[in-house]
Structure 1
């Protein structure tokens, strides 16, 4: 039977995300909204609102308006937040781009989303220009935040004397198009409305003790829905101070927490390994940390407890997907007694059920089933992909997550497996089909299949099973890995290669990954 959240439903205002976040900063107007952890540069709430208005006005001057898509390809900085909300304030749509993307991957997202402009930074400019050229965007359509010859800069936009346009978006309009592989296949645009994002902020609001005195560390990328909602926008919603980091570096991570006295740290599980084991951690005063919250991939309870004991803080975790804006389940701050292998309770306004993937029948407490989720945070669908939408969203409004879970009588959910074939490497999604398609372009590879395997650290990594072409005995594992690495984002790299005589397939030609997993289990 469906399991409702144990928490009362919350009210979801029928407003745009901008109106929800930027209405009346009051006494917090002069307080720091954002701090660049690297430089210490600070932007107050009032300054941020002013920048957002200027960016919106400048975009309107360039013809950007309702329904237009603008791509944002940049690392975490305070300026990312200003541009993100400036695009929304211009009545347009943000498509956030993975900062590790190659030109080809970026070009796909630009083309698929129909982006008219691309914001980036000078270190990313070579990739941005190549992708823009591939899809027919001129240099004039590439805005470089920190400036580059021949391109508009953020300073240029902020110099406008125009007024921001009238707001025309409604809660039902699309706000962002992050890209996700969903339960399978190549990355797809996830249509998230203003209502989806506002709803998820209201839903998670009651789960954690985040206040206007909280400092949040944003090391996980804003382009990812976890960073976008839980760090960037929750910080604005709660009038907290968000301290940004452009990339993860352990020593810098520890310095920033210690120096700025950050109390709430959101991580993915690989960071927990460093916090539990690395000797450098003891060199920093981390007594300021109240809560470490892990997401993006399952956190092992033993590891979480080791972090909690070493740092003297509470460690929690949750569950979500890009398609869920992203949070659907989490451990609340006041229940550290829950099993840390679990992902806690369904958040307010969410109904879940577990369904046997083979029979389609609902299962009860203690039984394994695919997690289905319904709530106001569920996406509208996938952009330009009715087939994928129909597979993922059913007629009753349930999103089929592709993850297998159990639930206790008390409503505590635990993710135990995946129906879907997606590999999760350090919280990033790696679709096997994309790697397989790339491998098959190599002239010495006859066939290939990819699955996730565990490395020595327990991390899931992509492993390729490769069938060599005849007369290609000289093809080595290093050759295969180098070929992929040159053509794909770093997190998608093949990290293990095994040569085999034949890829197991069904009569219909579908790769039998379960056979490859069984082979892997037998040899490990």
Structure 2
């Protein structure tokens, strides 16, 4: 149907639910689209049907480097030939050290064409010496045969690690290398023989395309085996409920890193599956790199916009005074999609207001739920809802299992063709990940928007594993409480950590926005800033007055002087907080949080 609000062809939510003993099971009633056999089947199709359409684009100095679908297929087959000539296959992975680039994309597809897994890694593993431990752990576990970087000089320090001894290193730029490297151009120059077609015929739905490592917030990173079937099924599932993706080729200008499933599988494959164009945004939602994002979007905006909430927040702030960016961003926009956290309602409302101003109607604004282990989309909102915080309903061919507690908060488990077969070389962790019915145990919690109407969808309600008990025995749902605190303290804080395990009250570690701290009045790791403390105290009093019970009442807080440390494991490679590590590492501050005489304490 054509939706009156957005003007897009959409499919309304339609869910079936059954109850068995203590569990609820939900499935979608939407007919599912057919599933491609392999990702590169899409590339073959579009190279034949739309050979001159730009598939990949990246900034190259003052201009842009564009690669069409026809060119991409030629390059991919040459790379596959180079890998086959090196006798590489399913047991000889390629580690990718650098971030998003056209050559990164071509190598990934060339490897998939030849059935060689890639292991894309976070840039900081290589670029930050303190993070080299993560790099050596992954390399030691996977033992790749080849490594790729876009700039051997920039990655020279990492490439000196012993784990690279005996490994072929391929680089786009070779100047300044700390060891012998192969030029990426040499792979592209490889002659394509009949062996390439013969090898590609051996690639099927169960072939591992890549190994994506989780962020390792509570243990060592786990390698998620990501198969062709997982990626192809997931694109078919999403196209089933968002049919407008097939009505015209989509376009994105996207920064989300490819070592994560959101950018590297969800967004990337959506462009390939639908004959779209992927403009690689060299910027990021950080103070240093955001100007590049503004420039890239202004020059090459998308029809779809994917981002995390902080990225949308920065865009809204910039677009208030940047008419050119605002016009470019909304001019042709069909979809705004956020993930990673709940989008603040004021940001949602600002995006709606700007969209109406520029084009007279709203894009579809939605979110989703998924994990690295689910390829990722499993639950998705696919109709207009007008508010933030809803993750949607099951996608076609998936089944979700809900285990409700006494308050109808439900532990979430999932099953479907987009779910991983297991973790790389880790049968014990794989076995622990599944329940006795074969559902993936996610550790996340959800609630129904309306208990009487499952078609209204679900909201995310935190991590079950983050919950804890107070001394009174009362359970605290830390994930949900954190989101509430962030909403109340918006504009003052970057993030918060909920504390209180085995204590008599709930407290906060507050990570302040740097522009809100006045002067340098730190005291052994805590900020003493009367102005900021007073503002936070006032808002916390409002929160406390609205709280219903001790499990929702935050009574104390301390402002952290030192931001979370990547080196010490307080930040995951996804940029999220490792709350367990923060609380453990800052044990002295935790004690001060419960010292009523401490001058840094904010108490209500």
Map residues 52-201 of structure 1 onto 2, 5 A cutoff.
Answer: 52-101=76-125, 102-122=131-151, 124-130=154-160, 133-138=161-166, 141-148=168-175, 149=177, 150-163=180-193, 165=196, 166-167=199-200, 168-181=202-215, 184-201=218-235
Q: Is contact 2:283-2:290 (8 Å) kept? A: no
Deviation at 1:247, TM superposition (A): 3.3
Change over 3 Å in CA distance of 1:202–1:231 after alignment to 2: same
The reply on whether 1:416 has 2:461 as its aligned counterpart is: yes
Deviation at 1:296, TM superposition (A): 2.5
The reply on whether 1:263 has 2:291 as its aligned counterpart is: no
Deviation at 1:290, TM superposition (A): 2.7
Change over 3 Å in CA distance of 1:245–1:125 after alignment to 2: same
Deviation at 1:11, TM superposition (A): 3.1
Match of 1:469 in 2: none
Map residues 260-409 of structure 1 onto 2, 5 A cutoff.
Answer: 260-278=300-318, 279-284=320-325, 285=327, 286-288=329-331, 289-312=333-356, 313-314=362-363, 315-332=365-382, 335-337=383-385, 339-356=387-404, 367-407=408-448, 408=450, 409=453
Deviation at 1:257, TM superposition (A): 2.3
Match of 2:13 in 1: none
Alignment RMSD, CA only?
A: 3.5
Deviation at 1:179, TM superposition (A): 0.6
Q: Is contact 2:48-2:70 (8 Å) kept? A: no
- In the aligned structure 2, how far is the partner of 1:71 from the partner of 1:327? 25
- In the aligned structure 2, how far is the partner of 1:21 from the partner of 1:399? 31
Deviation at 1:125, TM superposition (A): 1.4
Deviation at 1:55, TM superposition (A): 0.9
- In the aligned structure 2, how far is the partner of 1:385 from the partner of 1:218? 33
Change over 3 Å in CA distance of 1:65–1:97 after alignment to 2: same
Match of 1:426 in 2: none
Write the deviation string for residues 488-513 of structure 1: whole angstroms up to 9, x where unpaired: 67737889789555989xxxxxxxxx
Change over 3 Å in CA distance of 1:146–1:464 after alignment to 2: farther
Match of 2:542 in 1: none
Change over 3 Å in CA distance of 1:106–1:405 after alignment to 2: same
3-state SS of 2:182 partner: coil
Deviation at 1:330, TM superposition (A): 1.6
Q: Is contact 1:296-1:320 (8 Å) kept? A: no
Deviation at 1:41, TM superposition (A): 0.9
Deviation at 1:202, TM superposition (A): 0.8
Match of 1:509 in 2: none
Change over 3 Å in CA distance of 1:346–1:153 after alignment to 2: same
Residue among 236, 244, 247 paired with 2:280: 244
Match of 1:447 in 2: none
Q: How many residues align?
A: 463
Change over 3 Å in CA distance of 1:169–1:310 after alignment to 2: same
- In the aligned structure 2, how far is the partner of 1:162 from the partner of 1:17? 20
- In the aligned structure 2, how far is the partner of 1:266 from the partner of 1:91? 29
Q: Is contact 2:282-2:293 (8 Å) kept? A: no
Deviation at 1:178, TM superposition (A): 0.3
Map residues 467-506 of structure 1 onto 2, 5 A cutoff.
Answer: 476-477=524-525, 484-486=565-567, 491=575, 500=587
- In the aligned structure 2, how far is the partner of 1:189 from the partner of 1:178? 5
Change over 3 Å in CA distance of 1:389–1:397 after alignment to 2: same
- In the aligned structure 1, how far is the partner of 2:295 from the partner of 2:221? 35
Q: Is contact 1:354-1:369 (8 Å) kept? A: yes
Q: Structure 2: which 5+ runs fail to align?
A: 1-23, 126-130, 357-361, 468-481, 501-522, 527-559
Q: Is contact 2:32-2:236 (8 Å) kept? A: no
- In the aligned structure 2, how far is the partner of 1:381 from the partner of 1:217? 32
Structure with bigger gyration radius: 2
- In the aligned structure 2, how far is the partner of 1:24 from the partner of 1:383? 32
Deviation at 1:173, TM superposition (A): 2.2
Deviation at 1:260, TM superposition (A): 2.0
3-state SS of 1:40 partner: strand
Match of 1:460 in 2: 495
Match of 2:237 in 1: 203
Q: Structure 1: which 5+ runs fail to align?
A: 423-450, 466-474, 505-514
Q: Is contact 1:74-1:124 (8 Å) kept? A: no
Deviation at 1:45, TM superposition (A): 0.2
Question: Normalising to structure 1: TM-score of the pair?
Answer: 0.79
3-state SS of 2:257 partner: coil
Match of 2:45 in 1: 23
- In the aligned structure 2, how far is the partner of 1:521 from the partner of 1:482? 18
